[in-house]
Copies of this chain bind each other. A is one copy, B any other.
Amino acid sequence: MNVTPLSKTLLLTLLLAAGPALAAAPDIACRSNGSWDNACLRRLYQGAPGTWPKPQVDAGVTWQEMAPVPAVAPAASPRQAARVALGRALFFDPHLSAKGQVSCASCHQPEKSFTDGKPLAVGEDQLMGRRRTPPLFAAPFAAKLFWDGRVDSLEAQVLGPIANPVEMNHPIAAAVARVNGLEEHRSLIQAAFAAPALDEAQLAWALADFVRSLRPPATAFDRFLAGRRNALSDKELQGLHLFRTQARCMNCHNGPLLTDHGFHHIGLSYYGRRNQDLGRFEVTREKADLGAFRTPSLRGVAQAGPWMHNGVFPDLKGLLRMYGNAMGNPTAKAVAAGDPYAPPLSPLIRKLELNEADVEALAAFLQTL
């Protein structure tokens, strides 16, 4: 069967998602022979983030320290506040879709970190995309949007799902006409644009301004960042320390949003196989982008599953074990054979020495974000 390569990957995924790794825990600060000295760990993390142990990132990696997510700036004008209010109303309005079946919020559900709990996005008429609904907390801060970074402004981004036939399936001009015909948005439109009707650019502006106003709810990690040192349990603190060190997570997941807003191939391109998705390469056609997808924010990550751009991981611990195994490096053979389109795994992804307690601690830390 031609599906064998895929099935093999799935089998590997299942094995790695199920079986405990039995590697010995390597010594890192405050741990020896696999045992944590929690008092020692508390001391390391007693100050502000700038004083914490330096993260384990590779030479050449630009990273930012962990930090609180910047607050939304106060509205510069009543019009801006009104645009956000209009954008919010439109975000939750299924009239934006052709048949009125789905709103932006059908897929971007606030309580699921603005995702939908599904492996792949499902739009009007039950049509399905080939990627997962992306979480939105990084969107206000990202230079490039969508999993493949194909647009560089929120104004351009927000129109994509409206027009996309497998999402809201509504030509933008028709969506604008629909919105302008609805009594319920009239006063918001008047307040936002001092006019009785909006145009395409204004529809995009209002939705983009609403997305720009989205922030993750405050969590235990935020309280810890703010100086409440008992906001994380010992196990969660061990997870934070592993995240910064042994598990190498901060090579990509750093800064206030826990993302570098960059693109990396982490081994999920399914190159040459059914479900192949070459990610950012499909936009740029630059071989350096083969199989690369945007690093998602980890803010609210526990509520944002199933994970990865294609929702292939239903379990965060399975995902962590897979990272620990260098994601299986499924294209290694094709790369070695010189296939010019086989995506080389990002050199940031390496086999890690994580045992099952490490995976548990990392998963516990992820729950605090």
Which residues of A approach B to under 8 Å, CB–CB? 1-3, 7, 10, 13-14, 17, 119-120, 125-128, 130, 165-166, 271-272, 274-276, 278, 281-282, 285, 306, 311-312, 314, 341
Contacts and interface: CB of A to CB of B under 8 A. Distances in A.
28 contacts: A1-B10, A1-B13, A1-B14, A1-B17, A1-B314, A2-B119, A2-B306, A2-B311, A2-B312, A2-B314, A3-B10, A7-B7, A119-B274, A120-B274, A125-B278, A125-B281, A125-B285, A125-B341, A126-B271, A126-B272, A126-B278, A126-B341, A127-B276, A127-B278, A128-B276, A130-B130, A274-B275, A275-B275
A271 B122 CA distance: 11
Contacts of A274: 119-120, 275
Nearest to A120: B274
A151 to B, nearest CB: 16
Nearest to A11: B7
A343 to B, nearest CB: 10
A208 to B, nearest CB: 26
Contacts of A3: 10, 312
A271 B126 CA distance: 9
A368 to B, nearest CB: 25
A341 to B, nearest CB: 4
A3 B310 CA distance: 11
Contact of A10 (B7, B127, B128): B7
Contacts of A272: 126
Nearest to A271: B126
A232 B274 CA distance: 38
Nearest to A18: B1
A255 to B, nearest CB: 30
Contacts of A314: 1-2
A26 to B, nearest CB: 30
A282 B325 CA distance: 39
Nearest to A270: B128
Given A14-B1, A275-B275, A306-B2, A127 B311 contact: no
Contacts of A271: 126
Nearest to A310: B274
A169 to B, nearest CB: 8
Nearest to A3: B10
A156 B128 CA distance: 26
A137 B221 CA distance: 63
Given A125-B281, A126-B278, A127-B282, 6 more contacts: A1-B314, A3-B312, A7-B10, A127-B276, A130-B130, A166-B282
A3 B11 CA distance: 11
Contacts of A306: 2
A312 B4 CA distance: 11
A-B pairs with lowest CB-CB distance, top 4: A126-B341, A128-B276, A2-B119, A2-B314
A119 B3 CA distance: 9
A86 to B, nearest CB: 29
A95 to B, nearest CB: 18
A282 B165 contact: yes
A311 B165 CA distance: 24
A120 B3 CA distance: 11
Contacts of A276: 120, 127-128
A17 B1 CA distance: 9
Contacts of A13: 1
Contacts of A311: 2
